[in-house]
Amino acid sequence: MKIGFVGLGNMGAPMALNLLKAGHDLTVFDLNAQAVRQTVDAGAKQADSPRAAASGAQVVITMLPAAAHVRGVLTASEGVLSGASPGTVIVDSSTIDPASVREFAALAQQQGCVLADAPVSGGTGGAAAGTLTFMVGGSEAVYTQVKPVLAAMGKNIVHCGDTGTGQVAKICNNLVLGITMAGVAESMALGEALGIDPKILSGILNTSTGRCWSSDTYNPFPGIVETAPASRDYTGGFGTDLMLKDLGLATEAAKSAKQPAFMGALAQQLYQAMSSRGDGKLDFSAVIRLYRQK
Ligand code: NAD
């Protein structure tokens, strides 16, 4: 299938590689020339604008940091909507707020296109392995249409409901993730300060009721999980500023629904503190640095 792809970052680049591996005809755009070059070296065609990436594509996938970037990429004069033919399906896999998705879907509809939200979970490891979970918001028809494309990049392709509900699922998931990571960091740092070997403590957590993804797959203490960002100085992975953005989305959504989000608001302040001290680009598990005494 002819696919346009915009946003070749920590997530987008490995996702694009999996589309190439599945035999799709891929045209890519990113502001980062090096990211584009790597994907082109793997077999993609290079576009000089989002408009060019969308031109002639049946499906266009966007994987961008936040709603402002998605808006620009879709609506600029050289944007996706100016290049997409009627009938094109645009799949936004970025994590953004549900209200923006619905607005973008209405703009796409005015051009005769369809836009579905399909944010992901599974991290950069899942993106590389092609095992992401996609949370799809849109009609049953569009879900059926995009499922085979998403299946090249993920193993769980879940239809969450109408446009925007994929983002609802995603921000609720990341609300849990932001809180559990801070909880595991707090626990591991306390254990260290009280003198237990962090490896023994993590082994106990992972066979006890404290076990969660933040403890067994992505432990924030260096050297516990070899493949986790904590074991490579918190590089790569899921940036603190992105987690801060997602907790902002969750607390804003909670406010609009008149729902309390006590823990989310507290976790948001922890990641804000990291970002304010210049650690926003580090993986979010570096939140443990707020706790460790050395
Ligand atoms: P990233 O910052 O690594 O990559 C974003 C890419 O978008 C960069 O390559 C950047 O150059 C490009 N970009 C920005 N503005 C652009 C524009 N106007 N035109 C073209 N390209 C542009 O981010 P990421 O970690 O890949 O995350 C992307 C999205 O996925 C975010 O919404 C994030 O919240 C979500 N997400 C990330 C993870 C993770 O583990 N990193 C997991 C799940 C979901």
Q: Is the pTM of this model over 0.75?
A: yes
CA nearest neighbour of 279 among 231, 244, 250, 228: 244
Both structure tokens of 98: 């549900």
pLDDT in tens, 234-287: 998 999 999 999 999 999 999 999 999 999 999 999 999 999 999 999 999 999
Catalytic residue set: 170
Query: In this structure, are 104 and 243 located in the same domain?
Result: no
Q: Are residues 248 and 194 in the same domain?
A: yes
5, 6, 10: residue to mutate for ligand 1 pocket, most atoms within 8 A of CB? 10
Q: Is 68 in the pocket of ligand 1 (CB under 6 A)?
A: no
- 26 close to 52: Cβ distance less than 8 angstroms: no
17 with 147, same domain?
yes
- Beta carbon of 95 within 6 Å of any ligand 1 atom: yes
pLDDT confidence bin for 5, thresholds 50/70/90: very high
Residue 142 has pLDDT above 90, yes or no: yes
Sequence-separated (6 or more) residues with CB below 8 Å from residue 205: 184, 187, 211, 215, 216
Q: Which of 131, 106, 130, 101 is nearest to 118 (CA)?
A: 101
157/29 same-domain check: yes
Of 163, 191, 208, the residue that ends a domain is: 163
Same domain, 241 and 255: yes
Please give the share of the chain, as a percent, with pLDDT higher than 70. 100
Determine how many CB atoms are found less than 10 A away from the CB of residue 191: 18
**Domain match, 92 and 137 both:** yes
Which structural domain, as residue segments, surrounds residue 271? Answer: 168-290
Atom of ligand 1 nearest to the CA of 94: 32
Nearest to 79 by CA among 113, 102, 45: 113
The pLDDT of residue 245 is 96
User: How many folded domains does the chain comprise?
Assistant: 2
Do 203 and 110 share a domain, yes or no? Answer: no
pLDDT above 80: residue 294: no
The whole-number pLDDT of residue 293 equals: 82
Confidence of residue 24 (pLDDT cuts 50, 70, 90): very high
Domain end residue (candidates: 111, 135, 163): 163
Q: Indicate the average pLDDT of the chain.
A: 97
Structure token pair of residue 222: 């260096």
Q: Do 158 and 176 reside in the same domain of the chain?
A: no
In ligand 1, which atom is closest to the CA atom of 242? Answer: 34
Query: Do 154 and 24 belong together in one domain?
Result: yes
Rounded to the nearest 10°, the torsion over CA 124, 127, 132, 137 is 100
Q: Kindly give the distance from the C-alpha atom of residue 205 to the centroid of ligand 1, in angstroms, as a whole number.
A: 32
End-to-end CA distance of the chain: 52
Q: Are 9 and 148 part of one and the same domain?
A: yes
**54 plus 77 within the same structural domain:** yes
C-alpha–C-alpha distance, residues 286 and 205, integer Å: 19
Contact 159, 143 (CB under 8 A): yes
CB of residue 28 inside a 6 A radius of ligand 1: no
Domain boundary among 163, 188, 215: 163
79 in Cβ contact with 107 (< 8 Å)? no
Whether 53 and 110 share a structural domain: yes
CB contact burial 160-186 (16+ within 10 A = b; e otherwise): bbbbbbbbbbbbebbbbbbbbbbbbbb
Range 2-18 average pLDDT: 98
Q: What's the CATH code of the domain at 38?
A: 3.40.50.720
- CATH of residue 224's domain is 1.10.1040.10
CB atoms within 10 A of CB 139: 15
Identify the pLDDT of residue 75: 98
